Amino acid sequence: MIEKIPDLPDNVLGFKAKGTVTERDYETIIIPAVEDLFSRQEKIRFLYHLGEEFTGFEAAAIWDDTKLGMKHLTGWERVAIVSDTEWVRAAIKIFGVVIPGRVRAFHNNEIAEATRWISE
């Protein structure tokens, strides 16, 4: 399940994941929001909180995430991933170098710092 994080600057999208993130979450919530913001802005910032209630992704959701990231490869100004899940943090280190913008991983207890960084 995905919830939009409220009260972020106009150039920032933020989402919090709970339980398993599904293909439907991407197709009905994340992708439309990202496409809408890209229709108004050339560069965007993205905050993704995979907190303590996060349990994983459906394979189709990972594929949707990859396609979305590649479609707008040069449009990601900053990406903040907040998670204590080790495989997520490892993936950020590997795939973060492909994204031309700045990518940072934060631990769950650093959500306030991640929000400040993505918003500055």
pLDDT in tens, 6-16: 999 999 999 99
Residues of the chain with pLDDT > 70, as a percent, come to 100
Owning domain of residue 52: 2-119
How many domains is the chain partitioned into structurally? Answer: 1
Q: Hey, which residues does 4 pair with through a beta bridge?
A: 15
- Non-local CB neighbours of 38 within 8 Å, separated by 6+ positions: 44, 72, 75
Q: CA distances (Å), 3 to each of 26, 30, 32, 52, 93, in order?
A: 11, 9, 13, 14, 25
Q: What's 74's domain CATH number?
A: 3.30.750.24
Indicate yes or no: pTM above 0.85: yes
Inter-residue contact 102 to 77 (CB < 8 Å)? yes
Residue 14 amino acid letter: G
